[in-house]
Amino acid sequence: SAVISQKPSRDICQRGTSLTIQCQVDSQVTMMFWYRQQPGQSLTLIATANQGSEATYESGFVIDKFPISRPNLTFSTLTVSNMSPEDSSIYLCSGGLAGINEQFFGPGTRLTVL
Amino acid sequence: GDSVTQMEGPVTLSEEAFLTINCTYTATGYPSLFWYVQYPGEGLQLLLKATKADDKGSNKGFEATYRKETTSFHLEKGSVQVSDSAVYFCALSDLDDSWGKLQFGAGTQVVVTP
């Protein structure tokens, strides 16, 4: 298994600003993902974070709004840019190992945009 | 595309009652199936999984059997406790189609009263 931590755990931000969320895994994982969970809703995949190359975004999510980095196999960041109240959500990262179809989730970052 | 449908909540039960949460799926390949649990204010934890037809996943008294003929993965527990109050998510991942990406159901909130 893998233990995943996220920073910050929560934040309150002003409209128009940006926030970068960090995700750290305690062991090397093949795949890392970023999800959004809007209030009272299920999880929606934002993108797959690829090491050393651009992330792969799902329909409805774009790099300009959610730039993602993954400089190595254990670390990734998600930035929520030019925030609006509609971006208020929990953002979760997850990691998975090749050959083991299982993902481990971080505790999430609870973002409130005023 | 792949999708997961699970019964709507909230489901309210008395302690020691029997719990069933229905989950059905559609997938083009042969997915792995998962149940995740989210306790209040926390991230997601993997509860159990099954990777092929007729597999039974089990953990903490919960069970679910992968039924390919009915495309279902219903979650059951024979005697719930107040500590089982949480939101439960059914999910699938199709290795052949999109490695590791999880497709989640809408989630079912379970409330267990003393």
Of the CA atoms within 13 Å of residue A14, those in its CB half-sphere come to: 2
Q: What is the pLDDT of residue B96?
A: 61
pLDDT digits 0-9 by tens, B74-88: 999 999 999 999 999
B35 near A CB under 8 A: no
pLDDT above 70: residue B55: yes
Q: Residue A96 and residue B100: Cβ atoms within 8 Å? A: yes
- Across chain B, mean pLDDT equals 91
B108 near A CB under 8 A: no
Q: Please state whether beta strands B75-77 and B62-65 pair in parallel, antiparallel, or not at all (unpaired).
A: antiparallel
Q: What is the pLDDT of residue A99?
A: 66
As a whole-number percent, the residues of chain A with pLDDT over 90 amount to: 75
Q: Please state whether beta strands A10-13 and A109-113 pair in parallel, antiparallel, or not at all (unpaired).
A: parallel
Q: For residues B34 and B92, is the Cβ–Cβ distance under 8 A?
A: yes
Band (A59; pLDDT cuts 50, 70, 90): very high
Query: Residue B67: what residue type?
Result: R
Compute the distance between CA of residue B4 and CA of residue B26 in angstroms, rounded to an integer: 7
- Give the mutation candidate from B7, B30, B44 for the A interface (greatest A CB count, under 10 A): B44
Cα dihedral across residues B60, B62, B65, B70: positive or negative: negative
Q: Residue A42 and residue B100: Cβ atoms within 8 Å? A: no
- Name the residue facing A101 among B89, B95, B104 (closest C-beta): B95
- B101 or A58, higher pLDDT: A58
In the predicted model, what is the mean pLDDT of residues A29-53?
90
* Nearest-CA distance A30 → chain B (Å): 10
CA B104 and chain centroid, separation: 9
pLDDT above 60: residue B89: yes
Give contacts of B 15-34 with A, CB under 8 A: 32, 34
A51 near B CB under 8 A: no
Site of tokens 């945009």: A113
Least confident of A48-52, A61-65, B16-20, B105-109: A48-52
- Name the residue facing B42 among A31, A41, A107 (closest C-beta): A107
Band (B94; pLDDT cuts 50, 70, 90): confident
Of the CA atoms within 13 Å of residue B5, those in its CB half-sphere come to: 8
Q: What is the pLDDT of residue A29?
A: 80
From chain B, the residues in CB contact with A45 under 8 A are: 101-102
pLDDT digits 0-9 by tens, B6-27: 988 899 999 999 999 999 999 8
Least confident of A15-24, A83-92, B28-37: B28-37
Could you tell me which of A14, A29, A41 has the C-alpha nearest to residue A97? A29
